[in-house]
Amino acid sequence: MRCYIVFDIGGTYVKHAVMNERGDFLEKGRYRSERHDFQRFRDDLLRVVRHAQASYELSGIAISSAGSVDSDIGVIGGSSALPCIHGPNFKDVFGGATGLPVELENDANCAALGELWKGAGRGCRDIAFVIVGTGIGGAIVKDGRIHKGAHLHGGEFGYMLMDVRYANGTLECKTWSELAATSALVRMAAEEKGMQESELDGEKVFALAEGGDEAAQKAIDRFYFSLAQGIFNLQYAYDPEKIIVGGGISSRSDFISEINKRLSALLSVVSIAKVRPVVEACRFKNDANLLGALYHYLERRGELGAGLFPPAD
């Protein structure tokens, strides 16, 4: 059975795993990300590859990364918390140093592919994947493949305009990220309570609400309605089989049910809307990027094989 070394390059940590062709994790680890010095970044990653090669015969390197990833060329455009990764050709640098094939893809796209392969999107061909964090990002899967778009901005759902007002010659706009990201929840709760945003975080807002704090409850209600509004719009713009939601907040046990309550409210007043979005939480959580990076590698290299994309149970 073939083995691969898989990396998920994040702003704080680089997670890595040795995985087999079926997507099983053989070993996992992480180290702190080098942000500015690409030589050090390169050395850290190669050290992990060589350590893995001491125990496994590796067939390739699969990478998930932030930024506008050009999977064909191997270059990461755009910007991220790691300035040093933007510019170098990963296929040349890491393929040249190891002699192994290298494939890379955007992290949100990888998370979507991981869920498509073995998670909440298993058996689907068309899904929208939404990541709710400090901002909102995501990915579009069409016919089992990532749709990147003409400018590599496919799935950048956080840019959607949700609240546009024009009055007295002034135009005001708020995006989905500004209304439904976790940072928006904290901001709204701070405004309701007359506090500084630095005094709160998402967990504290939910704790306050559970303790009966009306200001926190109001902020959470606005947050969930904004999430539901964006999900409603995605359903009717793309009409996917499922909309899968990830990010740390998706681990809350009531997260999906709270979104569904607001969707029911919206559907009750939009009589023309007959399709109810099917919303599920990301099943693989922090491992979805690694799993999807491997799926992307196998697909690009023609190594996916029969039975690795099975129908839903």
CB 131 within 8 A of CB 105: no
The 10s digit of each residue's pLDDT in 186-215 is 999 999 999 999 999 999 999 999 999 999
Kindly list the distances between the CA atom of residue 230 and the CA atoms of 81, 181, 263, 286, in Å, as whole numbers in the listed order. 26, 11, 10, 23
Residue for token pair 């504290």: 204
Q: Kindly report the number of other CB atoms within 10 A of residue 179's CB atom.
A: 23
The 10s digit of each residue's pLDDT in 18-47 is 999 999 999 999 999 999 999 999 999 999
Token duo for residue 72: 């064909």
**Residue 312 scores a pLDDT above 70:** no
What domains are there in the chain, each with its CATH number? Answer: 3-112+286-300 (3.30.420.40), 123-282 (3.30.420.40)
In this prediction, residue 308 carries a pLDDT of: 46
Please compute Rg for the chain using Cα positions.
21
CA nearest 21: which of 54, 64, 57? 57
- Chain centre distance of CA 180: 15
**Mean pLDDT score across all residues of the chain:** 94
At CA 305, angle to CA 303 and CA 310, rounded to 5? 135
- Sequence-ordered list of residues with C-beta below 8 angstroms from that of 227, at least 6 positions apart, any chain: 132, 180, 245, 259, 262
